[in-house]
Amino acid sequence: MPDERQLQPAKLQDGDRRAFFVKLGVGSLSIAAVGAVGFGYQFLSPNVLFEPSPILNVGKPESYPPDSVTLDANSGIYLIHSNEGFFALGAVCTHLGCLTAWKPELGIIACPCHGSKFSRTGEKIEGPAPRSLPWYRVWLSEEGDLMVDRSTTIRSMQFLRV
């Protein structure tokens, strides 16, 4: 606190002095209250997270032969190299969360639990699944690796050409 603030009021009238201290007190408390809200927000939002990153590095595009469907069971995605380009599908059935399986002989993605069927581009062919499989954002990193962001769904039929 600057000295002048302490000294100046002394010269003032008693009432002014009181008013100054009241203002000082109320002002400090108001700033403290506003600060506490900001502080609370910063404190409550964690700076580090102990959760798996939604962004996956799935390796070089060359490791996926053309016209192939690759299931990464740990991350729950399909990486598909079609004639149009690369795309990534969620591999978890939209019905009750079973891990689906690619049936190369039929050319469909089928859920082993309740028989839902999806096309290779994730569209629902038959129930009981309520929705098609989600398309995730796919891009190429600067090192030339394919990256998949499981937290970002995109509209279907957006292929990544490499």
Partner 1 sequence: MVLGLALESVVEPSKHRRPSLWSQLFGDPIRAFGSLSLLLLLSLAIAPSKDHFSQWRHYQNSYLKMIRGRGDAVTLRRHFQAGIQQIWIPELGVVDRCTTCHVGVKEAGLTDVSLQPFRRHPVMPHDIEQFGCVICHRGQGAATTVEEAHMSTLAWEEPMLPARYLESSCGQCHRAPLTGTPQLNEGRRLMARYGCAHCHTVKLPEGGSLEAEDDAPSLSHIAEKTTREWIYAWVKDPQAYAATARMPNFKLSDEEARDISAFLIANSTPISGDTFSLPTAAQNTPSDPTAGASLYGESFCATCHAVQNAAGNVVGGDIGPELTRIGNKVRPEWLAAWIKNPRVYDPLTAMPHYRFSDAQVAVLTGYLQTKSDSEFLANVHLDPRTPEQVAHGKLLCTEYGCASCHEISGIKKAENFAPELTRIGSKPISQLIFAAGMPHTLPAYISGKLRQPRAFAAGLKMPQYNFTAAQIDAITTALLSLNERAQTLPARLSEPLSPASNYQPAGRAGQLMNDLACFSCHRINGRGSDLAPDLTWEGSVVQGKWLEEFLRNPNTLRPALIRRMPKFNLTADEIATLSDYIMTVYQTPSFDRESMPNSGYPAVLVEEGRQLFYSKYACQSCHIVDPKADKGYIGPTLTEVGSRLNATWVYHWLKDPQALRPGTIEPNRNLTEEDARALTAFLMSQKESARQETRK
Partner 2 sequence: MVTSANYFDQLRKSRVWRSIFRSGTGASTLHRSLVIQQDVFLHLFPTKVRRRMLNIGVTWYLGTLTFGTFMILVSTGILLMLYYHPSVPQAYSDTKDLQFVVTSGLFLRNLHRWSAHAMVFLVFAHMFRVFYRGAYRPPREFNWIIGVILLLITLLLSYTGYLLPWDQLAFWAITVGSNIASAVPLIGNKIHFLLLGGNFVNANALLRFYVLHCMILPLAAMVFIAIHFWRIRKDGGLYSHSSQPPAISDRSAPKEDR
Residue 24 parent element (H or E): helix 14-44
Q: Which does 15 bind (CB under 5 to 8 A by kind): partner 1, partner 2, none?
A: partner 2
Question: Mask 24-43, x = binds partner 2 (CB under 8 A)?
Answer: --x------------x--xx
Query: Minimum distance between the CB of residue 68 and partner 1, rounded to whole angstroms?
Result: 24
Which residues inside 25-84 make contact with partner 1, applying CB under 8 A? 25-29, 31-32, 35-36, 38-39, 42, 47-50, 57
Q: Is 139 in the site for partner 2 (CB under 8 A)?
A: no
Give residues with Cβ within 8 angstroms of 123, minimum separation 6.
132, 156
Terminal-residue alpha carbon distance, the chain: 63
Paired strand residues for 103: 108
141 makes contact with partner 1 (CB under 8 A): no
Cα(55)–Cα(141) distance, integer angstroms:
11
Residue pair 92/76 in contact (Cβ under 8 Å)? The answer is: yes
Per partner kind, with CB cut-offs from 5 to 8 A, the member of partner 2, partner 1, none near residue 28 is partner 1
CB count within 10 Å of CB 21 equals 11
Query: Between 29 and 125, whose beta carbon lies closer to partner 1?
Result: 29
C-alpha of 47 from chain center: 15
Q: Which of 2, 3, 13, 46 binds partner 2 (CB under 8 A)?
A: 46
Residues in contact with partner 2 by the rule CB under 8 A: 15, 18-19, 22-23, 26, 39, 42-48
